[in-house]
Amino acid sequence: MIDREDLPTNFCPRNGKARYPTEHAARVALAGIVIERNRGRPGVARRKETRVYGCDRCGGWHLTSQPFRPTS
């Protein structure tokens, strides 16, 4: 079961992505996408998100399909 606090709270002004309030909430959302994608659900199979990241612009957490790129 998904807790209300695990749902996205709004959207990031920088990139328009769903903003999750905590890393845990973003990971729960990602796990749900991965499970549904592995089941071959229509519409979900196109989603390619593979990881979460913290956003320094909005202070929230987002999902991305981009590989990790360390900052120098």
Q: Phi then psi for 27, rounded to 5 degrees?
A: -65, -35
Alpha-carbon radius of gyration of the chain: 12
**8 CB neighbour count, 10 Å cutoff:** 18
What confidence tens digit (pLDDT) does each residue in 15-44 have?
889 999 999 999 999 998 888 888 877 766
What confidence tens digit (pLDDT) does each residue in 47-61 have?
789 999 999 999 999
